[in-house]
Structure 1
């Protein structure tokens, strides 16, 4: 991966339930990291292969390797929101992470 392709600024957040004043709970995204990424829409064969992983994915988001990224977190890009379905550390090289995501509508 050419790091020059990491040209989209994303925010990775974890959605936590927080008690509100009325005694109920609200879900609020808490920031984990802001980083540069490459965002690719999966097309044709890639999408079909991703479907074989047993969960639906629509985008591959590539970031530099960092510890602490989990499937329970959410990626925000502009006004768009992506659920992380799979995390792939290619060749266990700890250089880049590929986040296979499903865009929330």
Structure 2
């Protein structure tokens, strides 16, 4: 991949569980790292589920290879949040292709 295609600054976040004083807890997201990536939409769709309109956009994010990125992380780009669905490294581990669903 040509480096010029990596023109979007994205942040990969990881989840941690924070306990509260009542014995419960909540999920907090913290920044793991920021990197340059190529964010491109794959398809847009509108579905009717249970008589409600549900919108979803699937994106593909390409970045330089970084070990340890899993479906338990998420990506933030330009104030938008993307849940990771699949992570595919190339054969020589130089690039990652990440399939994401935008959280609406």
Runs of 4+ in 1 over 3 A off after TM superposition: none
TM-score of the superposed pair, with normalisation by structure 1 = 0.80
Higher strand share: 2
What RMSD over aligned residues (CA atoms) do the two structures have, in Å? 2.0
- Find the structure with the greater CA-based Rg: 2
Structure 2, unmatched stretches of 5+, are 46-55
> How far does the alpha carbon of each residue in 1:44-63 deviate from its partner, in whole angstroms, 9 at most, with x for none?
9xx9xxxxxxxx97000001
Within-5 A mapping of 1:1-105:
1-43=1-43, 58-90=58-90, 92-105=91-104
TM-score of the superposed pair, with normalisation by structure 2 = 0.81
Higher helix share: 1
Structure 1, unmatched stretches of 5+, are 48-55
Count how many residue pairs are aligned between Structure 1 and Structure 2: 94
Q: Is the 8 A contact 1:85 1:102 kept in 2?
A: yes
- The Cα of 1:15 is off from its aligned counterpart by 1.5
